[in-house]
Chains A and B, each alone.
Chain A
Amino acid sequence: MAASGEADQPREVEFEQPNISSDSDQGDFNESEAPGKSENAPLLASDSFDDLSYNDLGVNDHQTVHRGTIHAIVRQTSTSSDSRSNTPNNVDHDSLEVSAGEESLEESAESQMQNVSIADKQEAVELAAPPFSSDDEDVNSPEWKNQKKHVFILSESGKPVYSRHGNEDKLVTIMGVMQALVSFVQDSKDSLRSVVAGEHKFVFLVRDHLLLVGVTRGMDSTQQMLLQLMYVYNQVISVLTHSALGKIFKQRRNYDLRRLLTGAEKFFDNLLNLIDTEPGLLLTAVRCLPLDSQVRDVIAQSIVQNAKVKDLVFALIIAKNQLVTLVRMKKYYLHPMDLHLIINLVNASESFKEAESWTPICLPKFDASGFLQAHVSYLDEDCQVCLLLLSVDRDSFFTLSEAKDRIRARLVRYNALSAINSSLRRTSYSTQQCAISDLRHFLYKARSTAQYTSPELEAPYTKPEEQERLFGLYHYLHHRIHTSGRPLKILFHVGQYETLLGWVTQGFELYAVFGPLITKTGAIHAVNRLLRWIKREEDRLFILNSVTF
């Protein structure tokens, strides 16, 4: 099935208060329409965070893996196109093969087996007794232990695949323990989800062929950690495809996946840094680069006019982790989680700055079973504005390369490139621009478009540790509002250093941070003004019109 769910949300029912007209700010939240709302969103409105639960994971795994979209496009375009396309598009869904000679593969797997002795379930029981004492293991270093957040990926058989901190080779024992714990619980027809110890939360996610473990002592809730592990799993899929992953482990249960992920560690590292600093991943929403809507139209039209290329599914421009524009093939939408992986790819890859690149990328929400082929290039000398052309045709590099030149020429001609660059130089906007006193920072997510906006981090959130604390407050707000079984509409919290307000309607989610002394009336007043300001600026802050080829 194609990921073609219409982005239409049910029409806005109504907001908190029936008497919208009362503009007296005497305690009512009053906003008639959610700013940034669009019936015609470029992104697939994200799955609601509330829907993300273990119930949707594990059990019906095959249902959550999107497959076949690429095939559908290939089939559709090859039947509709003229006879010129005599060579069938060779989209190889299982193109990734374990290419090394079988013997060498066996050999290395065998030798590694001896290191991981805990892989066997029978041995799991005895596991508790010996403390992890081997001297050269990273677990003994206080620096390692004190890391704020650990993320581990291991294979089903307990073989280390990735660790955010420390060297996987030196974490064989602890990762073996993780695998043993998970499989032990599985033996009794149950599944291990999380463990709490003091400030630490340990979250376990078992997906096809892999086990992911997150350890945090931050404010991230279990549910939020789970989402983060989903991103990490999707990153693996993005590099290898779900099909290839299955094939590899079908061939050899003990395969050392690190062989195939060499060079991809930086994607995981970078993704985890983004997770800790970019609210968009928490909100499953994307931030757009603020631009006048006419400029944005010019950019989108430049792409539409110059990249009418068969089999081109998505064309997008990204600048400093923000979306500038997105043009898509009719009926196909980009999921924000996929877009974050694209942003991560760009953000983590210096090599794209050297030359035009042609690289495979799998978008798990779009189609986990195959690769799209991405033409990646920077449009400006400073390598800030990145154009990505994603096609299902592996042979279209030169066509896309030419399209890119034409797009760039047109962007230059209409000064759109310089408009992008000057928006980048302005570094988003300040809360002062909203002219609301006491408002320190906010996140505003338009739910129907899966986009969000937020101002620059300013005093008192200039130091990294203060920013981390602010981010923790957002995690708290977000978590409490979205707790399954008892979701909230409004949360007002007076804490020691700040006052927080979270407000969720059908149209938007708003998380605002004020100074500690603001009154409740003051906060409500401010929020209503803020919503009016966002409404005024919505053309600039959001992409409201979806453009298709």
Chain B
Amino acid sequence: MKSIEAKVVVLGSQGVGKTSVVIRYVGGMFSKAVSPTIGASFFTYKMTLDGYRVKLQVWDTAGQERFRSMAPMYYRKANAAMLVYDITSLESFYDIKDWVKELKKNVDTPIVMCLLGNKADLDSGRKVPTEEAAEYAASIEALFFETSALKNTGIEDAFLQVSKQLIKLYETYPNSGLGILSPQQESTDIFSPQTTNVKLPSRTEAERPPQSDGCGC
């Protein structure tokens, strides 16, 4: 079985729920009192998909303005970007456009983009029409989902589709920077799909050879 390792960066304004989305996906839970991210948090997620072992290295970045200038450190060499806005905040949606501009300017490798309209459960306070967002997503060739970390809707699907795109990307551009685990490595790799041990990453991960081809982040 082939393995790919992809770096996914989660971007968006503060308070749109980036951490909640990631924790919902990776940890399978929701906490009302998620505290603001300092710098960036790192999560890994593993799954098997279409005959691939996919390992996502997720950088959950801080949305606060003071960390804005740190962002290149995290999106540099990213294979996918999750662009999160809050459907009740027009401003957070407009901020996405800045992010996209910035990514296009600074990232020269192919990148999968996925637009996430979070807090979809707060439909009564909606400020960003679904159609407008979908239209925008289409214009930048990004995937688009409306999600709710609270209700756990759309998130699973979003990451799944992103992973599929990543596989496609890998198949199209084998040298696109998506890491491949060496065969020897595979045999010792006893990971199970849906590993949720994020707090203390498993030892297998630690044994990953540091020069695992390109994805040095």
Q: How far is the CA of A163 from the CA of B179 in the complex (A)?
A: 48
Q: How far is the CA of A263 from the CA of B15 in the complex (A)?
A: 10
Given A263-B64, A349-B38, A406-B206 in contact, is the A356-B70 Cβ separation under 8 Å? Answer: no
Contact of A351 with B36 in the complex, beta carbons under 8 Å: yes
Contact of A354 with B206 in the complex, beta carbons under 8 Å: no
Residue of A at shortest CB range from B57?
Answer: A398
Given A264-B66, A406-B206 in contact, is the A401-B40 Cβ separation under 8 Å? Answer: no
Q: Chain A nearest CB: distance from B43 CB in Å?
A: 5
Q: Contact flags (1/0) for B180-217 with A, using CB distance below 8 Å? A: 00000000000000000011110101101010000011
Q: Which of A345, A350, A358, A409 contacts B42 (CB 8 A)?
A: A358
Counting CB contacts under 8 A, is A97 at the interface? yes
Contact of B69 with A96 in the complex, beta carbons under 8 Å: yes
Contact of B23 with A354 in the complex, beta carbons under 8 Å: yes
Residue of B at shortest CB range from A371?
Answer: B70
Contact of A360 with B210 in the complex, beta carbons under 8 Å: no
Q: Which of B23, B38, B199, B210 contacts A399 (CB 8 A)?
A: B210
Q: How far is the CA of A357 from the CA of B200 in the complex (A)?
A: 12
Q: Contact flags (1/0) for B140-153 with A, using CB distance below 8 Å? A: 00000000000000
> What chain A residues lie within 8 Å of B198 (beta carbons)?
355
Q: How far is the CA of A408 from the CA of B34 in the complex (A)?
A: 26
Question: Which of B23, B34, B35, B60: most chain A Cβ within 10 A?
Answer: B35
Counting CB contacts under 8 A, is B19 at the interface? yes
> What chain A residues lie within 8 Å of B19 (beta carbons)?
351, 354
Counting CB contacts under 8 A, is A262 at the interface? yes
> What chain A residues lie within 8 Å of B208 (beta carbons)?
402
Contact of A360 with B65 in the complex, beta carbons under 8 Å: no
Contact of A99 with B68 in the complex, beta carbons under 8 Å: yes
Q: Which of B14, B41, B70, B210 contacts A262 (CB 8 A)?
A: B14
> What chain B residues lie within 8 Å of A351 (beta carbons)?
19, 34-38, 41
> What chain A residues lie within 8 Å of B65 (beta carbons)?
99-100, 259-260, 262
Contact of A398 with B41 in the complex, beta carbons under 8 Å: no
Contact of A240 with B66 in the complex, beta carbons under 8 Å: yes
> What chain A residues lie within 8 Å of B69 (beta carbons)?
95-97, 99
Contact of B41 with A356 in the complex, beta carbons under 8 Å: yes
Contact of A355 with B199 in the complex, beta carbons under 8 Å: yes
Contact of B66 with A398 in the complex, beta carbons under 8 Å: no
> What chain B residues lie within 8 Å of A317 (beta carbons)?
none
Question: Which of A378, A399, A401, A406: most chain B Cβ within 10 A?
Answer: A401
Contact of B201 with A357 in the complex, beta carbons under 8 Å: no
Given A95-B69, A97-B69, A262-B65 in contact, is the A357-B42 Cβ separation under 8 Å? Answer: yes
Counting CB contacts under 8 A, is B39 at the interface? yes
> What chain A residues lie within 8 Å of B70 (beta carbons)?
95, 360
Q: Contact flags (1/0) for A401-434 with B, using CB distance below 8 Å? A: 1100110110000000000000000000000000
Contact of A394 with B73 in the complex, beta carbons under 8 Å: yes
Residue of A at shortest CB range from B26?
Answer: A355
Counting CB contacts under 8 A, is A239 at the interface? yes
Q: Chain B nearest CB: distance from A453 CB in Å?
A: 30
Q: Chain A nearest CB: distance from B150 CB in Å?
A: 17
Residue of A at shortest CB range from B199?
Answer: A355
Counting CB contacts under 8 A, is B8 at the interface? no
Q: Chain A nearest CB: distance from B71 CB in Å?
A: 9
Contact of A359 with B38 in the complex, beta carbons under 8 Å: yes
Given A351-B19, A354-B41 in contact, is the A398-B201 Cβ separation under 8 Å? Answer: no
> What chain A residues lie within 8 Å of B60 (beta carbons)?
355
Counting CB contacts under 8 A, is A397 at the interface? yes
Q: Which of A264, A358, A395 contacts B39 (CB 8 A)?
A: A358
> What chain B residues lie within 8 Å of A354 (beta carbons)?
19, 23, 34, 41, 199
Q: Chain A nearest CB: distance from B102 CB in Å?
A: 10
Given A95-B69, A263-B64 in contact, is the A359-B40 Cβ separation under 8 Å? Answer: yes
Q: Chain A nearest CB: distance from B55 CB in Å?
A: 13
Counting CB contacts under 8 A, is A333 at the interface? no
From 37 to 62 in chain B, residues with beta carbon under 8 angstroms from any chain A beta carbon are: 37-43, 60, 62
> What chain A residues lie within 8 Å of B14 (beta carbons)?
262-263
> What chain B residues lie within 8 Å of A358 (beta carbons)?
39-42
Q: How far is the CA of A264 from the CA of B64 in the complex (A)?
A: 9
> What chain B residues lie within 8 Å of A360 (beta carbons)?
39, 67, 70
Q: Chain A nearest CB: distance from B79 CB in Å?
A: 15
Interchain residue pairs with CB less than 8 A apart (24): A97-B68, A100-B65, A259-B65, A262-B64, A263-B38, A263-B66, A349-B35, A351-B36, A351-B37, A354-B34, A355-B198, A356-B42, A357-B37, A357-B41, A358-B42, A359-B38, A360-B39, A395-B216, A397-B217, A398-B216, A398-B217, A401-B206, A405-B201, A406-B206
A263-B64, A351-B19 given; name 9 further pairs at CB < 8 Å.
A99-B68, A240-B66, A264-B64, A345-B38, A350-B35, A351-B34, A355-B41, A356-B41, A359-B38
B residues with CB within 8 A of A? 14, 19, 23, 33-43, 60, 62, 64-70, 73, 198-201, 203, 205-206, 208, 210, 216-217
Q: Which 6 A-B pairs have the closest CB atoms?
A: A359-B39, A350-B35, A405-B206, A355-B41, A263-B64, A263-B36
